[in-house]
C-alpha cells in the first residue's frame, strides 16, 4: 500500500513447511472406510433390487447410479482442472489459494477413466442405441417406439458403441495432456526465482487459454454421450453448458470446503484470509445464479415451443410424482444456496460456509438423479419406490469417497502453496492493511 | 433536536488513512462514540474503527427486490387470469413459467433502485448543509487528499479543551474547532 508506510512491517511470512498437514492422512483413511462401507451397501441393494423388486432391475439401478457417481467425480477432476485454467487466465488472489487443491483434483483423472470403463462394458444396459443397433427390428418386435427407432437410425453416425469409446478415449487423452502440462509446469515454476515470474505468468496463460476452449468442447461432447444420449430422442443445445456450470458449482463448493478444512493448520492457516474466503463465496453465488438461469432458460424455451420431440423429456421428469423431485431440486439447488450465500456473514463464517458448500454438493447429486433416472422406461413419468432406486444414495457415495481418498494422496504429493507468484506477497499482508 | 449553535465538534486532519484509522480506533476504545471519519475514498477500516458494523441498505435492497418481483408477478397474473384472459396456444391462463422473466426483471430493477435510493436516504442525503464544511482545510482537501476525524460536541465526554489535547496526542496536521 503505497500510501501507508506502516503496512509493510505488519506482513506475515510463510511457514517453513509448506506440505499438507498430517490430518489429510486421516481424511484419506476415513474416505476409504466410507467407500468400503457404501460399496457393500451398494452390492446388497443391487441384490435386493434384483430379487425383491417387481422389475428386477437391481443391477440396472446400480449402473444408473454409477453414472451419477461418474458425472460427479468427472466434474471434480475435469471441472477442477478447468477452474485452474480459468484462474491462470483471469488472475485473482483466491486462485493462488486454490491452485494446489485444484491441481490435486485434476490429478485424479485416472480414477475417472477407470470409472468410465463400467459404462463402456455395460453400454447395452444404459443406452437404447447400443442395445438395439438394428432399430427397425427392435421396432417390429415392439421393444421401442417409432420415435426411438427413427432417432436411433438417424443418430447412428454419432451414437454407436465404437464412436462412444473413441470419443471418450480422445477426450481423456486431451485432459491428460493438459493435466501433465499444467501440473508439471507448476512444480517447475516453484524451483525458479522471482525474475522468471513474468515468463511463467505468460506461459500459463498461453497453455490455459486454448485449454479452456478445448475443455468446453470436450466436456460438451462427453456430457452428450454419457448422459443425454440415455434418452435417444431428446436434444438440447445448452446441455453442455448446463454441465459446465454444474461443474463450476461443485468444484467451487468442494474447493471452499477443502480450503477451510486445511486452514486448521499451516500453511493454509497463514494464507486463508477472510477476504479471499468471502470472494470464493461470492464466486460460488454467481454459479448458483448462472445455474438456475440456464436451467430455467432451457425449460422456458421448451415449454414455450411445446414441440412433441422436446417436451416429452420434461413430461417424463414432471409427471408421475417426478414433479415433487424437481420442486425439491429447485429448492435444494437454488433457493437454499441462494438465500444462504446472499448473506455476507455466512460467507465470512468458516463453519457456516462449509455447511452451505456441503449442501451444494448434495444438491448437484440430487439434480443428477433427476436428470438420469427418468431416462429409463420403468422410471419415466413413474417415480416409485424400489430397493434399486436406493442405489443413488449408495453407489455415488462410495465412488466419491474413493475419489476423495485419491485426492488426499495427490494433495500430499506437493507443497500446498505455489511460492513463485506475485499474489503471494499480497495474500500475506494483513487484511486491514491500512491500520 | 439539539440547539444548532455553538461548537459542532473538533476536526483533526491527518495525512494518511493509516493515521486516521489508528486515531479513530484509539478514540473508540477510549469511549468516544459521537464521532465520524471523513476520507476522499471509501475506507472500510475507518468505518469499522468507529463501530459501524452494519447498515440497513441490504435490508432495504432485499425488501425492494421482493416487492418488485411479487408486484410484477401479481400484475401478470391479474392481467392473464382476470382482466384480459387470452387463449395463447391452448396454455392455461395461469402460465407461471411465462411470468417469471418480467417478474425477475422487476426484482432486479427494484432491488437496484431500492439499494441506490435507500443508501442515499439512510446517509441523510441530499444534505444542503453540514457544519464540517465551515473548516477551510476540510473544504480544500476532504475530497482530494486529506483525512479527518471529528469528535462531536454531542458526545458526553466532550470538553473543548480536553478534546483538543486528546486529539493533539495523535499528532495530526491540525485540530480545528468547527461551529454549527
Backbone CA torsion sign across A312, A313, A318, A321:
positive
Give the lowest-confidence range in A43-52, A74-83, A189-198, A319-328.
A189-198
- Looking at residue A6, its pLDDT comes to 42
Q: Give B5 to chain A, closest Cα distance, Å.
A: 35
**How many contacts, defined by CB atoms under 8 Å, are there between A and B?**
37
Pairing of β B147-152 and β B174-179: unpaired
Q: Answer whether residue B70 shows pLDDT above 70.
A: yes
Report chain A residues whose CB lies below 8 A from the CB of B43.
434
Omega cis (within 30) before A36:
no
Q: What is d(CA A107, CA A95) in angstroms, rounded to the nearest whole number?
A: 17
Q: What is d(CA B93, CA B82) in angstroms, rounded to the nearest whole number?
A: 9
DSSP string, B111-155: HHHHHHHHHHHHTT-S-S--GGGGSHHHHHHTTTT-EEEEEETTS
Condensed to tens digits (0 to 9), the pLDDT of residues B85-143 reads 999 988 999 999 999 999 999 999 999 999 999 999 998 889 889 999 999 999 988 88
Average pLDDT of every residue of chain A? 92
Q: Give A231 to chain B, closest Cα distance, Å.
A: 24
- Looking at residue A106, its pLDDT comes to 96
Q: Which tops the pLDDT comparison, B124 or A226?
A: A226
- Looking at residue A433, its pLDDT comes to 46
Do the Cβ atoms of A85 and A175 come closer than 8 Å? no
Condensed to tens digits (0 to 9), the pLDDT of residues A109-167 reads 999 999 999 999 999 999 999 999 899 999 999 999 999 999 999 999 999 999 999 99
Q: CA nearest B49 in A: which residue?
A: A435
Q: Answer whether residue B1 shows pLDDT above 70.
A: no
Instruction: Decide if A306 and B89 are in contact by the 8 Å CB cutoff.
Output: yes
Q: How confident is the model at residue A428 (pLDDT cuts 50, 70, 90)?
A: confident
Q: Give B97 to chain A, closest Cα distance, Å.
A: 6
Q: Answer whether residue A2 shows pLDDT above 50.
A: no
Instruction: Decide if A435 and B25 are in contact by the 8 Å CB cutoff.
Output: yes
Q: Answer whether residue A249 shows pLDDT above 90.
A: yes
Chain A contacts to B (CB-CB under 8 A): 3-7, 296, 299-300, 303-304, 306, 342, 344, 432, 434-435
Cβ contacts of B41 within 8 Å, gap of 6 or more: none
Helix (H, G, I), strand (E, B) or coil at B7: strand
Report chain B residues whose CB lies below 8 A from the CB of A299.
97
Q: Give A327 to chain B, closest Cα distance, Å.
A: 14
Of A6, A306, A434, the CB nearest to B45: A434
Report chain B residues whose CB lies below 8 A from the CB of A432.
21, 45, 48
Residue percentage of chain A with pLDDT more than 90: 82
Instruction: Decide if B22 and A435 are in contact by the 8 Å CB cutoff.
Output: yes
- Looking at residue B2, its pLDDT comes to 54
Report chain A residues whose CB lies below 8 A from the CB of B18.
3-7, 434-435
Helix (H, G, I), strand (E, B) or coil at B35: strand
Residue B80 carries which DSSP code?
Answer: I
Report chain A residues whose CB lies below 8 A from the CB of B40.
none
Q: Answer whether residue A102 shows pLDDT above 90.
A: yes
Omega cis (within 30) before A267:
yes
Of A303, A342, A434, the CB nearest to B18: A434
Instruction: Decide if B18 and A306 are in contact by the 8 Å CB cutoff.
Output: no
Q: CA nearest B96 in A: which residue?
A: A300
Instruction: Decide if A296 and B100 are in contact by the 8 Å CB cutoff.
Output: yes
Q: What is d(CA B173, CA B147) in angstroms, rounded to the nearest whole number?
A: 10
Q: CA angle, A69 as apex, A226 and A403 as ends, to 5°?
A: 120
Cβ contacts of A332 within 8 Å, gap of 6 or more: A359, A362, A363, A366, A367
Q: Give A323 to chain B, closest Cα distance, Å.
A: 15
Report chain A residues whose CB lies below 8 A from the CB of B89.
306
pTM of the entire predicted model = 0.89
Cross-strand bridge partners of residue B178: B9
User: Could you give the count of Cα atoms lying within 13 Å of B24 in the half-sphere of its Cβ?
Assistant: 31
Q: How confident is the model at residue A432 (pLDDT cuts 50, 70, 90)?
A: low
Q: Give A415 to chain B, closest Cα distance, Å.
A: 33
Do the Cβ atoms of A131 and A181 come closer than 8 Å? no
Q: What is d(CA B150, CA B84) in angstroms, rounded to the nearest whole number?
A: 61
Instruction: Decide if B17 and A3 are in contact by the 8 Å CB cutoff.
Output: yes
Of B18, B98, B100, the CB nearest to A4: B18
Q: What is d(CA B109, CA A217) in angstroms, rounded to the nearest whole number?
A: 35
Q: Write down the residue that cell numbers 477551510 correspond to.
A: B136
Report chain B residues whose CB lies below 8 A from the CB of A434.
17-18, 21, 43, 45
Instruction: Decide if B89 and A6 are in contact by the 8 Å CB cutoff.
Output: no
Report chain A residues whose CB lies below 8 A from the CB of B48.
432
Cross-strand bridge partners of residue B37: B149
Condensed to tens digits (0 to 9), the pLDDT of residues A170-225 reads 999 999 999 999 999 999 998 888 888 889 999 999 999 999 999 999 999 999 99
Q: Give A434 to chain B, closest Cα distance, Å.
A: 5
Q: CA nearest B62 in A: which residue?
A: A342
- Looking at residue A221, its pLDDT comes to 97
Chain B contacts to A (CB-CB under 8 A): 16-18, 21-22, 25, 43, 45, 48-49, 58, 62, 89, 91, 97-98, 100-101
- Looking at residue B10, its pLDDT comes to 93
Q: Which tops the pLDDT comparison, A4 or B120?
A: B120
Q: CA nearest A3 in B: which residue?
A: B16
* Predicted complex ipTM exceeds 0.85: no
Amino acid at each position: 500500500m503505497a500510501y501507508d508506510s506502516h503496512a509493510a512491517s505488519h506482513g506475515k511470512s510463510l511457514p517453513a513447511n509448506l506440505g499438507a498437514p498430517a490430518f489429510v492422512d486421516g481424511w484419506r483413511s476415513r474416505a476409504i472406510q466410507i467407500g468400503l462401507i457404501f460399496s457393500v451397501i451398494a452390492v446388497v441393494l443391487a441384490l435386493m433390487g434384483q430379487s425383491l423388486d417387481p422389475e428386477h432391475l437391481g443391477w440396472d439401478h446400480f449402473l444408473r447410479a454409477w453414472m451419477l457417481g461418474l458425472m460427479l467425480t468427472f466434474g471434480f477432476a475435469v471441472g477442477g482442472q478447468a477452474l485452474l485454467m480459468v484462474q491462470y487466465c483471469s488472475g485473482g488472489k483466491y486462485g493462488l489459494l486454490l491452485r494446489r487443491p485444484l491441481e490435486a483434483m485434476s490429478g485424479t483423472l485416472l480414477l475417472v477413466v477407470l470409472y468410465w470403463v463400467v459404462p463402456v462394458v455395460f453400454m447395452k444396459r444404459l443406452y437404447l442405441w447400443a442395445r438395439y443397433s438394428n432399430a427397425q427390428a427392435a421396432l417390429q418386435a415392439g421393444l421401442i417406439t417409432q420415435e426411438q427407432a427413427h432417432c436411433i437410425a438417424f443418430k447412428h453416425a454419432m451414437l454407436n458403441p465404437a464412436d462412444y469409446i473413441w470419443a471418450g478415449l480422445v477426450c481423456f487423452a486431451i485432459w491428460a495432456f493438459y493435466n501433465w502440462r499444467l501440473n508439471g509446469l507448476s512444480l517447475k515454476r516453484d524451483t525458479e526465482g522471482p525474475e522468471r515470474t513474468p515468463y511463467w505468468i505468460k506461459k500459463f496463460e498461453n497453455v490455459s487459454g486454448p485449454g479452456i476452449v478445448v475443455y468446453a468442447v470436450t466436456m460438451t461432447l462427453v456430457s452428450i454421450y454419457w448422459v443425454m444420449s440415455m434418452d435417444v430422442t431428446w436434444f438440447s443445445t445448452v446441455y453442455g453448458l448446463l454441465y459446465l456450470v454444474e461443474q463450476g458449482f461443485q468444484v467451487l463448493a468442494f474447493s471452499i470446503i477443502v480450503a477451510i478444512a486445511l486452514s486448521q493448520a499451516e500453511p493454509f492457516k497463514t494464507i486463508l484470509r477472510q477476504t479471499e474466503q468471502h470472494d470464493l463465496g461470492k464466486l460460488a453465488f454467481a454459479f448458483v445464479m448462472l445455474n438456475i438461469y440456464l436451467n430455467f432458460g432451457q425449460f422456458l424455451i421448451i415449454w414455450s415451443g411445446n414441440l412433441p420431440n422436446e417436451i416429452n423429456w420434461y413430461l417424463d421428469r414432471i409427471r408421475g410424482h417426478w414433479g415433487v423431485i424437481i420442486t425439491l431440486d429447485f429448492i435444494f439447488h437454488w433457493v437454499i444456496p441462494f438465500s444462504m450465500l446472499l448473506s455476507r456473514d455466512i460467507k465470512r463464517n468458516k463453519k457456516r460456509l462449509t455447511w452451505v458448500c456441503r449442501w451444494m454438493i448434495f444438491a448437484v447429486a440430487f439434480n443428477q438423479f433427476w436428470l438420469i433416472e427418468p431416462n429409463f422406461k420403468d422410471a419415466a413419468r413413474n417415480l416409485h419406490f424400489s430397493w434399486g432406486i436406493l442405489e443413488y444414495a449408495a453407489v455415488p457415495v462410495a465412488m466419491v469417497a474413493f475419489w476423495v481418498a485419491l485426492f488426499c494422496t495427490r494433495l500430499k504429493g506437493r507443497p500446498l502453496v505455489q511460492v513463485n507468484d506475485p499474489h503471494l506477497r499480497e495474500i500475506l499482508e494483513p487484511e486491514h492493511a491500512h491500520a | 433536536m439539539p440547539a444548532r449553535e455553538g461548537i459542532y465538534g473538533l476536526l483533526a486532519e491527518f495525512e494518511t488513512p493509516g493515521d486516521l484509522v489508528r486515531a479513530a480506533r484509539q478514540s473508540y476504545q477510549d469511549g468516544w462514540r459521537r464521532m465520524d471519519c471523513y476520507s476522499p475514498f471509501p475506507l472500510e477500516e475507518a468505518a469499522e474503527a468507529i463501530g459501524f458494523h452494519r447498515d440497513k441498505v441490504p435490508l432495504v435492497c432485499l425488501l425492494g427486490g421482493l416487492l418488485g418481483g411479487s408486484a410484477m408477478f401479481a400484475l401478470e397474473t391479474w392481467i392473464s387470469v382476470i382482466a384480459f384472459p387470452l387463449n395463447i396456444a391452448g396454455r392455461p391462463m395461469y402460465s407461471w413459467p411465462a411470468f417469471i422473466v418480467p417478474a425477475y426483471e422487476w426484482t432486479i430493477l427494484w432491488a437496484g433502485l431500492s439499494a441506490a435510493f435507500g443508501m442515499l436516504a439512510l446517509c441523510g442525503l441530499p444534505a444542503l448543509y453540514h457544519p464540517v464544511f465551515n473548516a477551510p482545510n476540510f473544504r480544500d482537501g476532504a475530497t482530494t487528499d486529506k483525512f479527518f476525524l471529528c469528535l462531536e460536541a454531542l458526545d458526553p465526554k466532550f470538553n473543548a479543551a480536553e478534546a483538543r489535547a486528546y486529539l493533539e496526542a495523535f499528532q495530526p496536521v491540525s485540530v480545528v474547532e468547527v461551529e454549527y
